[in-house]
Amino acid sequence: MLALCVPACDALAQPPADPAPPADSGDAAPTPEAPARVSVEPISDDADIAKRLQRILRATGWFRDPVVRVDEGVAFLEGATGDADRKAWAQQLASKTDDVVAVVNNIKLDRPSMFDLSPARANLEDLLRGAIQTTPTLIVAALLFAATWLAARLAARVARNVAERRIDNTLLRGVLSKAAAIPVLLLGAYLALRVSGLTRLAVTVLGGTGVLGIVLGIAFRDIAENFLASILISIQRPFQTGDLVTIDDRQGFVQMVTTRGTLIMTLDGDHVQIPNALVYKSVIVNSSANPNQRLSFVVGVDYGDSASRAQRSVLEAVSLHEAVLRDPEPLVLVDGLASSTVNLRVFFWINRAEYSPLKVRSAVLRQVKRRLQSDGFTLPDESRELIFPQGVPIRWLGEPPPGGAGGGPDKRREEPALNAAAGAVRQSVDPDESEAGATKAEGGLVSEKKEIEDQAAASRPLQDGDPLLAAPAVAAR
């Protein structure tokens, strides 16, 4: 047996009589792999193997001028094809044929022309075929989307109708209706994507909704905070439209509250828009929640006057004014002892829904001044201290000039003159001083709210959207 195998191995080691033609420079000939097992006496003849393989290659129609030659079980494949996969298929076919121990694949690959549009045409045909095949699925998905949209609108309408019977807040009703519609939309989108065959995309949509919400919440944190503040303001209602409020050191009448911010008009007629997040976090002073407001001012009388009598005179003058409330009653308190006056602080209440605090304070000050002067009280001004380093020469009334004749100062002539001057000061009241409760210069005593409303009506709108707070109903008088 060993004697038979050695000559056979030597014969296989020798080069064939007809060497294979060299491969094209563009296609390097692959090195054939050694077979796992080689038969010493093949069953099929080389010529039969070559004819069989050549007929198979021609039958496929994939190869141009296919030629197969077999020598000592080694198959040499010749010809040309335009597909590398077909070239590899021919090599696999030959290697799986009985009694073929090796394959030398010399099949050439045709290089496509630079102007060959067949790949693009093939891609277009594939796209068109895919579009036609998926058309029924897309129609079903579109119908599901339409049904989902209608179901979401129905859910939102039902939620809004239920909320209208239980919730007075417009913004909160809108939020609840949208919250009822969103789950329906997500479920419909998931079903439509599943029907379309986009299962992975459907899972991504559902899983990415929460991630997208987190990302948007971080990116638009200020906007989200402002929107949440709008909801809280509309629920808690710290003020109403038309209220006089002070927010972050800005005072004005509330014109409108939307999801963007709170619009107020100051007493100077300026529009100020404040973000709702700042409104919710700031200290809010509502000057319209309580219609009554306490006002105060300070008036000073001379040290020589009776403080208690001055208190009675001021109290009578304040109480007689038409805009001052009787309950709570006015107060006149000794506030301090200044350098030249005894200061009296006056407290009184008014109804600011009807009267202007600025105008009433002006009118009451004017009435108190007139009453004190008519009652003989002195209203001294602030004292000033003057220092004369060299001194000031003083000469009594009636005293002759220095070096002249005459005696000392005539004090008897001085005292009546001083008393007359003091009396003139105490009792000097301007005859043109009005006794009316309000003068034309004070513009009446009515509140500025009507003026601000007229100015707001004449202004161009600065915000769009539905107001969150409705104007309060006007009570009948």
What confidence score (pLDDT) does residue 20 get?
43
> 303 with 334: CB under 8 angstroms?
no
Is 80 exceeded by the pLDDT of residue 158?
yes
What confidence score (pLDDT) does residue 231 get?
82
Element housing 292 (H / E): strand 292-301
> 444 with 436: CB under 8 angstroms?
no
Please give the Cα distance from 459 to 358 (Å, whole number). Answer: 24
Please give the Cα distance from 86 to 108 (Å, whole number). Answer: 11
Is 60 exceeded by the pLDDT of residue 327?
yes
What confidence score (pLDDT) does residue 19 get?
42
Please give the Cα distance from 314 to 299 (Å, whole number). Answer: 9
What confidence score (pLDDT) does residue 346 get?
95
pLDDT tens column, 168-185: 767 677 778 888 888 888
Token pair listed for 15: 């080069």
What confidence score (pLDDT) does residue 334 get?
94
Please give the Cα distance from 259 to 233 (Å, whole number). Answer: 10
- Highest-confidence range of 1-10, 19-28, 309-318, 406-415, by mean pLDDT? 309-318
> 39 with 106: CB under 8 angstroms?
no
What confidence score (pLDDT) does residue 142 get?
86
Element housing 145 (H / E): helix 118-166
> 279 with 233: CB under 8 angstroms?
yes
Please give the Cα distance from 467 to 356 (Å, whole number). Answer: 28
With cut-offs at 50, 70 and 90, classify the pLDDT of residue 110: confident
Token pair listed for 191: 């079903």
What confidence score (pLDDT) does residue 13 get?
40
With cut-offs at 50, 70 and 90, classify the pLDDT of residue 381: confident
Q: For 54-58, 144-148, 385-389, which range has the lowest pLDDT when averaged over its residues?
A: 385-389
Quick check: helix, strand or coil at residue 246? Answer: strand
> 271 with 225: CB under 8 angstroms?
no
Q: Which residues 6+ apart lie within 8 Å of 156 measured at CB?
A: 177, 178, 180, 181
What confidence score (pLDDT) does residue 261 get?
85
Question: pLDDT: is 392 or 90 the higher one?
Answer: 90
What confidence score (pLDDT) does residue 465 get?
55
**Region of residue 241 (left: phi > 0; alpha: psi -120 to 50; beta: else):** beta
Q: For 44-58, 202-216, 356-370, 414-428, which range has the lowest pLDDT when averaged over its residues?
A: 414-428
First-to-last C-alpha distance (Å) of the chain = 133
Is 80 exceeded by the pLDDT of residue 284?
yes
Q: Which domains does the chain show, CATH number per domain?
A: 2-109 (3.30.300), 118-219 (no CATH), 240-289+449-472 (2.30.30.60), 291-382 (3.30.70.100)
Token pair listed for 384: 């000033």
Of 369, 382, 378, the closest CA to residue 302 belongs to 378
Rounded-to-10 torsion of CA 196, 202, 205, 208: -160
Q: Provide the 10 A C-beta neighbour count for residue 315.
A: 19
Find the mean pLDDT for residues 32-55. Answer: 73
Q: Provide the 10 A C-beta neighbour count for residue 149.
A: 14
What confidence score (pLDDT) does residue 349 get?
94
Is 60 exceeded by the pLDDT of residue 417?
no
Quick check: helix, strand or coil at residue 92? Answer: helix
Quick check: helix, strand or coil at residue 78? Answer: strand
Token pair listed for 199: 């299962």
Question: pLDDT: is 160 or 118 the higher one?
Answer: 160
With cut-offs at 50, 70 and 90, classify the pLDDT of residue 333: very high
Q: For 85-94, 120-129, 162-171, 179-188, which range has the lowest pLDDT when averaged over its residues?
A: 162-171
Average pLDDT taken over every residue of the chain:
77
Token pair listed for 214: 């987190």
Please give the Cα distance from 239 to 245 (Å, whole number). Answer: 8
What confidence score (pLDDT) does residue 17 get?
41
> 350 with 323: CB under 8 angstroms?
yes
Rounded-to-10 torsion of CA 282, 285, 288, 294: 180
What confidence score (pLDDT) does residue 30 get?
55
Quick check: helix, strand or coil at residue 159? Answer: helix
What confidence score (pLDDT) does residue 39 get?
58
Is 90 exceeded by the pLDDT of residue 319?
yes
Q: Which residues 6+ apart lie within 8 Å of 419 measured at CB?
A: none
Find the mean pLDDT for residues 80-98. Answer: 89
Is 70 exceeded by the pLDDT of residue 108?
yes
Please give the Cα distance from 16 to 326 (Å, whole number). Answer: 134
Q: Which residues 6+ apart lie within 8 Å of 376 measured at CB?
A: 426, 427
Q: Evaluate if pTM is beyond 0.85.
A: no
Please give the Cα distance from 362 to 445 (Å, whole number). Answer: 10
Question: pLDDT: is 331 or 201 the higher one?
Answer: 331
Find the mean pLDDT for residues 268-280. Answer: 88
Q: Provide the 10 A C-beta neighbour count for residue 324.
A: 22
Q: For 26-30, 72-76, 456-460, which range has the lowest pLDDT when averaged over its residues?
A: 26-30
Token pair listed for 247: 């927010």
pLDDT tens column, 204-230: 666 666 666 666 666 667 777 888 888
